[in-house]
């Protein structure tokens, strides 16, 4: 039988021959690698997303990364920042495909897929969810990337205020599932076309004498889309924004009733909210309810959304009411880290496979195949040759059991089963190792 030395925990780190050698390539500006330690957070967030999606019966829908630019020009609005500044155009060898862009958001693509695939009669209302990358050309900064992930919900073909509240409830529940503190929804109503016109006139009159004090973007907004003056983040524009006329004072009876109903649903569900009179969303298709969701310690919203009853008219000349919301996955991840929500990898691999010699290595490889079929998670270190280095690795990985194969064990068709805590070991016939492992793993 092989004599197994006790593994020592503290070992001198091996020298890295690549240290100090500069790699000539970097990721594109504003686009980042998702490293293994970040996947702990991503998997936690996606688990919460899937749980909430399943509970509210949202169906997963994934439109392509590339879409016709006109989908966003007509849907998002020709004067929106997305269309004006943030789209990535894709060159194509075909002239008929020269107007493709990487999707800057999901909502128009979700709606296109809903109509194009003939789902407008079979799914009423249609409840969709999505998770994937979007692309926006903007200056990278904290919480803003040129490629980032969004998760979100869309409820199409309904005017009912209960679905505005359900969308809010869904994104709120994701953050609550992640144990984030201080979650609050900031909410407002921007009315409909019939009542918004009088408000926009009042807003334009208010800003008219202040135009020389505004930032360049707001000067443009004043001419093209005055409602977006309230979306400005420039410091010099904040005093004027704070004293601007409020949308809630100009709502028609229908919009007042709708907004009151949404708030009542939130009250019943005990979802905390603040009415924010200056809150608007930067896209043209929004109407009535708009909201953003924040957590303690974060200045930027983790996500937002609202009702968009006019998107279908822009794209299809047919009115289909809808509501939706999206959360920025990286922003949620950053909030978890800021609030010191620490995640540790699960130590599911309790068995470590060790070999000595080429024949034992081949046998160990075959054993790995058998363990996969039986659903037994096993780690290995095929790149290491010595018994000591493999034992050190098993100890570092926190393995409970080590399986050891040498030349003699291969010849006798047995394997040494070693308890890594006690150091006790026994020899087990190879054909019995699977049931023996299953029996032991039930108690670990």
Q: Which residue has the higher pLDDT, 283 or 318?
A: 318
Classify residue 265 as exposed, middle or buried by CB count within 10 Å of its CB (0-12, 13-18, 19+): middle
- Is pLDDT of 1 > 70? no
Q: Percentage of the chain with pLDDT > 70?
A: 94
Are the C-beta atoms of residues 137 and 83 closer than 8 Å to each other? no
- Say yes or no to pLDDT of 314 above 70: yes
Q: What integer pLDDT is reported at residue 7 of this predicted model?
A: 47
Omega into 261 within 30° of 0, i.e. cis? no
For 48-61, write each residue's pLDDT tens digit: 999 999 999 999 99
The pLDDT of residue 96 is 67
Q: What does the DSSP 8-state code read for residue 148?
A: E
Predicted local confidence at residue 16, as pLDDT:
58
Bridge partner residues of 67 (DSSP): 101
**DSSP conformation letters of 262-320:** HHHHHHHTT--EEE-TT---SSTT-EEEEEEEE-TT-SS-SEEEEE-TTHHHHHHSS--
Does 260 score more than 90 pLDDT? yes
Lowest average pLDDT, out of 88-92, 127-131, 253-257, 307-311, goes to 88-92
User: Quick one: pLDDT at residue 42?
Assistant: 95
Read off the pLDDT of residues 364-406 as tens digits, 9 standing for 90 and up. 999 999 999 999 999 998 888 888 899 888 888 889 999 999 9
Nearest-angstrom CA–CA distance, 321 and 206: 31
Q: Which is it for the CA torsion 71, 75, 80, 86, positive or negative? A: negative
pLDDT at residue 321 in the model: 93
Domains defined for the chain, CATH in brackets: 36-192+252-338 (3.30.930.10), 351-441 (3.40.50.800)
pLDDT at 334 over 80: yes
What is the distance between the alpha carbons of residues 261 and 99, in angstroms, rounded to a whole number?
Answer: 42
- Give the highest mean pLDDT range of 241-245, 302-306, 342-346: 302-306
Q: Which pLDDT score, from 0 to 100, does residue 262 have?
A: 98
Over residues 79-117, the pLDDT tens digits come to 787 888 888 998 877 776 668 999 999 999 999 999 999
pLDDT over 70 (residue 72): yes
| Two structure tokens written together for 368 | 């790995």
Give pLDDT, residue 213.
84
Average pLDDT, the chain: 89
What's the pLDDT score for residue 3?
58
10-19, 49-58, 94-103, 425-434: lowest mean pLDDT where?
A: 10-19
SS3 14: coil
Residue 125: its pLDDT value, please? 95
Give me the pLDDT at residue 126, please.
Answer: 97
Residue 301: the pLDDT is 94
* Average pLDDT over every residue of 163-174: 98
Measure Cα distances from 318 to 63, 74, 100, 310 in Å.
21, 14, 25, 9
Question: Which structure tokens are listed for 390?
Answer: 């493999």
Strongest mean pLDDT among 33-42, 50-59, 348-357:
50-59
Beta strand residue intervals within 81-125, DSSP E: 88-90, 100-102
Could you identify the residue written with the tokens 């039988």? Answer: 1
Q: Burial level of 354, CB count in 10 A (0-12/13-18/19+)?
A: buried
C-alpha of 185 from chain center: 19
Residue 15's pLDDT band (cuts 50, 70, 90): low
**Section 263-290 average pLDDT:** 92
pLDDT class of 14 with cuts at 50, 70, 90: low
pLDDT score at 217: 86
Tokens standing for 89? 């155009």
Q: How confident is the model at residue 192 (pLDDT cuts 50, 70, 90)?
A: very high
């Amino acid at each position: 039988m092989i004599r197994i030395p006790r593994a020592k925990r503290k070992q001198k780190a091996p020298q890295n021959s690549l240290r100090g050698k500069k790699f000539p390539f970097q990721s594109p500006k504003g686009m980042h690698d998702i490293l293994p330690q970040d996947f702990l957070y991503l998997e936690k967030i996606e688990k919460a997303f899937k749980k909430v999606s399943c509970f509210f019966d949202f169906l997963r829908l994934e439109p392509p990364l590339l879409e016709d630019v006109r989908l966003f020009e007509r849907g998002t609005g020709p004067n929106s920042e997305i269309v004006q500044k943030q789209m990535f155009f894709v060159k194509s060898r075909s002239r008929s495909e020269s107007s493709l862009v990487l999707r800057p958001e999901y909502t128009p693509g979700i709606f296109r897929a809903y109509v194009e695939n003939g789902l407008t009669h079979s799914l009423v209302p249609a409840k969709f969810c999505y998770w994937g990358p979007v692309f926006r050309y903007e200056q990278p900064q904290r919480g803003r990337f040129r490629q980032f992930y969004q998760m979100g919900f869309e409820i199409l073909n309904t005017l009912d205020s209960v679905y505005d509240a359900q969308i809010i409830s869904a994104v709120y529940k994701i953050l609550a599932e992640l144990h984030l503190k201080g979650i609050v929804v900031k909410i407002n109503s921007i009315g409909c076309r019939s009542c918004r016109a009088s408000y926009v006139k009042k807003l334009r009159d208010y800003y008219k004498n202040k135009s020389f004090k505004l930032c360049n973007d707001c000067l443009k907004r004043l001419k093209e889309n005055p409602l977006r003056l309230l979306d400005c983040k420039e410091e010099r524009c904040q005093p004027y924004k704070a004293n601007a006329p409020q949308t809630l004072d100009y709502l028609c009876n229908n919009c007042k009733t709708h907004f009151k109903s949404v708030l009542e649903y939130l009250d019943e569900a005990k979802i905390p909210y603040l009415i924010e009179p200056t809150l608007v969303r930067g896209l043209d298709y929004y109407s009535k309810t708009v909201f953003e969701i924040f957590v303690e310690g974060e200045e930027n919203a983790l996500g937002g959304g609202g009702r968009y009853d006019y998107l279908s008219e822009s794209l299809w000349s047919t009115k289909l009411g809808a509501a939706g919301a999206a959360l920025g996955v990286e922003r949620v991840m950053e909030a978890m880290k800021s609030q010191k929500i620490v995640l540790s990898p699960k130590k599911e691999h309790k068995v470590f496979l060790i070999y000595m010699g080429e024949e034992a290595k081949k046998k160990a490889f075959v054993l790995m195949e058998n363990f996969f079929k039986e659903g037994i998670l096993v780690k290995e270190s095929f790149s290491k040759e010595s018994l000591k280095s493999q034992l050190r690795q098993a100890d570092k990985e926190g393995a409970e059991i080590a399986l050891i194969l040498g030349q003699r064990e291969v010849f006798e068709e047995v394997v040494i089963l070693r308890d890594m805590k006690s150091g006790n070991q026994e020899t087990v016939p190879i054909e019995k190792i699977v049931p023996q492992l299953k029996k032991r793993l039930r108690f670990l």
